[in-house]
A and B are shown apart, each in its own frame.
Chain A
Amino acid sequence: MKIKNIFTYCFISSLFLFSLICIWKILVTLQGIELTNFNFNKLFIFGIILCAINLLIGKKLNLNIKIILLALLFSIFDYFISTNLPIWYSFGIFLISLFFFNNIKDYDKNFLSKNHSSQKLFFNFLTLFGIILFSFVILFPFYMMLVTSFKTQALLLLNPLDFSINFAQGLPELFKSYFIVFKDYNFGRYMLTSTIVSLGTVIITLIFAIPAAYAVARLNFFGKNFLSTSILIIYLFPAIVLVIPLYTIFSQLGLRNSIEGLLIVYTATTLPVAIYMLQGYFKSIPKELEEAGIIDGQNWLGIIFKIILPLSLPAISSVALYVFMIAWNEFLFSLMFLDRPNTFTLSRAIQFLNVGAETPRQYLMAGSVVVTLPILIIFVYFEKYLVSGLTAGSVKG
């Protein structure tokens, strides 16, 4: 057995344990509890000692007893070096160390004498730590958005690190920002506009795209190849190069500040990707089915409605969800085309809130939750369809 391996094992393991404890401590701080020191030196050295003990005990003891014993030792040590912390903090430390020692319980002298054991160890820990860190970094802004919307201005300024939710104050008080956002800032109306625009875009896009995609996928006509390559090229043109001409044209035609104008632009910008995604799917439907339809005396319309559509419902749903997402999240065109508050979409309204007179941040965050929540719910619920839509249409972003 190599001394070097033992040393790296202890070092990496203890570092990993310490990182987990750090994340836990940050979370605890964010619950408004005063905690100003990570205690790096003490915890790190004690972690190394415990890892070495773990190695020494090996499989001489029942593994479960070993884990609990080591975790308890670590929690008690942490309890003594930190002061004035609630009991649930120490319980969290205990659970984390339990998780940690459970992960290293199998490592003994034999494992460490194998080839590449330290690299394997390192990558195992890196994966675990990565999962925890990634979840933390991704979820934290969403969590912050939600909690800020439950607070009052005074509380936010008093302790910017307090992200606990005080359920004791009662629901009406908790959701106060939402009541104000809907009542005084007219978010109900914006939500309705956003819904109408997004659903309208989905419906119109599908009405235009399904026949076109069918033609590109199935029928022979002059200029077909040219058309299918142009779809992709057009799709890569960004909104920012369209915005000035469209602004000039729309303001002269009086289409600005109207939902119709927005619908036209959204439909046109999502059409290429919708056609691109649908034609790919239509091509995968066996031709024989259509031939059977022709023999039955169906015309093209009949074939599309009675054969193609029922078969490609999954593809159509993913296109619909993807287009809905684009339209719901769209910001640039709504910024350019909408100046009057009575035509605002949700995104534009939130930007207006932020730019306008000092809007308290809890209202801003309540508005953000209102715009984010529907799309996340749809995403989680229809994940399968939306993910395939994202993959197919991900040339755009």
Chain B
Amino acid sequence: MSSKLAKIEKRTAYLLILPSVLLVFSIILFPIFSNIWISFKNVELKDLRIPEPRAKKLVKSINDNPNQIKVIYKLRNSSLTQEITNVKFKDKYPDDIEPISLNNKCQFKSNLLKCELGNWPKKYRENLEIVFQNINNKEISKKELKSYKPKLSGKSQNILLTYEFTLNNFKKVIKDKAFIDLLSTTFYYTFFGTIGAIVFGILAAQMVNQKFFGRTFMRSVLLFPYVAPVVALAYTWELLLDPTSGTLNNLLINYQIIDRPINLLGQKYVTLNILGFDFKLRLALTTVIIFEIWRYFPLAFLFILARLQAVPKELYEAADVDGANPIQKFLNITLPQILAVISILFMIRFIWNFNKFEDIFLLTGGASGTRTLPINVYQQGFSIGDIGMGSAVSIVIVVFLLIFMFIYFKLLGKRADEN
């Protein structure tokens, strides 16, 4: 009896999860694996259009003979790169009309013109001309002839499904001189974005954890950048930072802090002079990181605040009795309590910042030294149009991602053990 129940339970379970599993498999897992397939192929954006045989029908009357008419089909292969095999042609004609002469490729039977046009190489063009006459010697209506549209079919190789593979994409990715630069930009962006978000998250959480008027309102306000759509925020920032008519530059000039506007999003380097040493700061990248911190510190804030509110008050009271100062209290009580949250937060944010695409894309489009790996996927795949290369870069991302996930789950497992 119980085994029967268990069987029913199992069957129900599979039935309940099947739709979700299928959907996630086809839209998430299958694409990740097909990335591998595509990355070993030489595919470009223009290859994605399936080659089609096309025909344009022209109807011409023949001089002094209204009973006869000439039909010209302008045939062509739509693809500039691939051949179409076994092209078949079909067109319908009104009653009483017959072709005068036909070449051996075509047949005319019961008002239907059928042709076997064989194989068409790439860019192929041909004109098919047939003269028709009305059997009853009546005038042929051009309009009626034109109203029928020819139908063509043919087979073409789908470049995505062939078994030709190449290592060129990966060679290009790794040999690319900019690859090291790309990686360092990505890590720079990811690391400082993550650290910054966490530091500001801690500051904000410390602030909101104190009692003051309007505290709940403050908590909602702090989450605004995280919940608002990235498109709107990125463009607002772009206007804010604009060198000529942006608010920030005008404000700084107004108060004589700077004398020339700074193109914060369009300038790759800025030379800073600190204590007599010149050093170069990557300006556009830093600006993008600041936007990133502004947008994502709310998340860190939310997590850390939740943890802070769970810290027992007695700890602080005991510290007061011991005469600890605020810095000591923070270092010895607060920080150890939130360290676990911070480490998990760091890993998650690191993974997500590593893959962040929209923010940089909308702010700079990857220009002036802000090209990270995800931006590169887009540029290779869609700006340059080399789908294979784009996929190869995606694979690089996935490899890094798997490494990070491995570390993350190790960390998570360790935490679970400790608890």
Q: Do A and B come from one complex?
A: yes
Q: Interface of A with B (CB < 8 Å)?
A: 26, 29-30, 35-38, 115-116, 119-120, 123, 127, 130-131, 134-135, 137-139, 141-142, 144-145, 148, 156-157, 160-161, 163, 208-209, 211-212, 214-216, 219-222, 224, 227, 233-234, 236-249, 251-252, 264-265, 267-269, 271-272, 275, 300, 325, 328-329, 331-332, 336, 346-347, 350-351, 354, 361, 364-365, 367-369, 371-372, 375-376, 379-380, 383, 386-387, 390-391, 394-397
Instruction: Please tell me if the beta carbons of A376 and B224 are within 8 angstroms of each other in the complex.
Output: yes
Report the bound CA distance from A160 to B254 in whole Å. 11
Which residues of chain A have C-beta atoms less than 8 A from B210's C-beta? 127
| B302 at the A interface (CB under 8 A) | yes
Report the bound CA distance from A74 to B351 in whole Å. 51
Contact A245/B35 with A138-B225, A144-B247, A268-B27 known, Cβ cut-off 8 Å: yes
Inter-chain pairs besides A214-B16, A246-B31, A247-B387, 14 sampled, C-beta below 8 Å: A37-B255, A123-B326, A134-B207, A142-B224, A144-B236, A221-B9, A241-B355, A244-B394, A245-B38, A247-B48, A267-B23, A371-B229, A390-B227, A394-B348
Report the bound CA distance from A215 to B204 in whole Å. 39
Instruction: Please tell me if the beta carbons of B235 and A252 are within 8 angstroms of each other in the complex.
Output: no
Interface residues on B, range: 35 or more
Instruction: Please tell me if the beta carbons of B17 and A368 are within 8 angstroms of each other in the complex.
Output: no
Partner of A395, one of B28, B245, B348, B378: B348
Report the bound CA distance from A112 to B205 in whole Å. 28
Q: Which residues of chain B in 292-308 are interfacial with respect to chain A, using CB atoms and an 8 Å cutoff?
A: 294, 296, 299, 302-303, 306
Instruction: Please tell me if the beta carbons of B227 and A368 are within 8 angstroms of each other in the complex.
Output: no
Which residues of chain B have C-beta atoms less than 8 A from A29's C-beta? 251, 254
Q: Which residues of chain B in 182-237 are interfacial with respect to chain A, using CB atoms and an 8 Å cutoff?
A: 203-204, 206-207, 210, 212, 218, 220-233, 235-237
| B29 at the A interface (CB under 8 A) | yes
Partner of A240, one of B225, B349, B387, B397: B397
Instruction: Please tell me if the beta carbons of B229 and A372 are within 8 angstroms of each other in the complex.
Output: yes
Task: Give the Cβ gap from A212 to chain B, nearest Cβ, in Å.
Answer: 4
Mask: chain B, 378-419; 1 = CB below 8 Å from A; 0 = not: 100110000100110010011001000100100000000000
Instruction: Please tell me if the beta carbons of A208 and B377 are within 8 angstroms of each other in the complex.
Output: no
Contact A220/B236 with A142-B224, A331-B358 known, Cβ cut-off 8 Å: no
Which residues of chain B have C-beta atoms less than 8 A from A390's C-beta? 223, 226-227, 299, 302
Report the bound CA distance from A350 to B38 in whole Å. 32
Which residues of chain A have C-beta atoms less than 8 A from B229's C-beta? 328-329, 331, 346-347, 368, 371-372, 375
Which residues of chain B have C-beta atoms less than 8 A from A244's C-beta? 35, 38, 377, 381, 387, 390-391, 394
Q: Give 27 A-B contacts (CB < 8 Å), ordered by A residue.
A: A29-B254, A134-B207, A134-B222, A138-B222, A138-B294, A144-B239, A160-B246, A161-B251, A211-B19, A215-B12, A219-B16, A236-B405, A238-B357, A238-B374, A242-B27, A246-B31, A247-B382, A251-B48, A328-B229, A329-B227, A329-B230, A346-B229, A351-B231, A368-B235, A372-B228, A394-B299, A394-B348
Instruction: Please tell me if the beta carbons of B302 and A130 are within 8 angstroms of each other in the complex.
Output: no
* Inter-chain CB contacts under 8 Å: number: 286
Instruction: Please tell me if the beta carbons of A248 and B38 are within 8 angstroms of each other in the complex.
Output: yes
| B32 at the A interface (CB under 8 A) | yes
Instruction: Please tell me if the beta carbons of A240 and B377 are within 8 angstroms of each other in the complex.
Output: yes
| B147 at the A interface (CB under 8 A) | no
Which residues of chain A have C-beta atoms less than 8 A from B256's C-beta? 36-37
Instruction: Please tell me if the beta carbons of B50 and A252 are within 8 angstroms of each other in the complex.
Output: yes
Which residues of chain A have C-beta atoms less than 8 A from B130's C-beta? none
Report the bound CA distance from A271 to B19 in whole Å. 11
Q: Name the residue of chain B whose CB is nearest to the CB of A242.
A: B31
Which residues of chain A have C-beta atoms less than 8 A from B35's C-beta? 241, 244-245
Report the bound CA distance from A115 to B328 in whole Å. 13
Report the bound CA distance from A137 to B81 in whole Å. 54
Task: Give the Cβ gap from B258 to chain A, nearest Cβ, in Å.
Answer: 13
Report the bound CA distance from A234 to B296 in whole Å. 22
Which residues of chain A have C-beta atoms less than 8 A from B358's C-beta? 331-332
Instruction: Please tell me if the beta carbons of B391 and A212 are within 8 angstroms of each other in the complex.
Output: no
Which residues of chain B have C-beta atoms less than 8 A from A216's C-beta? 17
Task: Give the Cβ gap from B297 to chain A, nearest Cβ, in Å.
Answer: 9
Report the bound CA distance from A397 to B14 in whole Å. 30
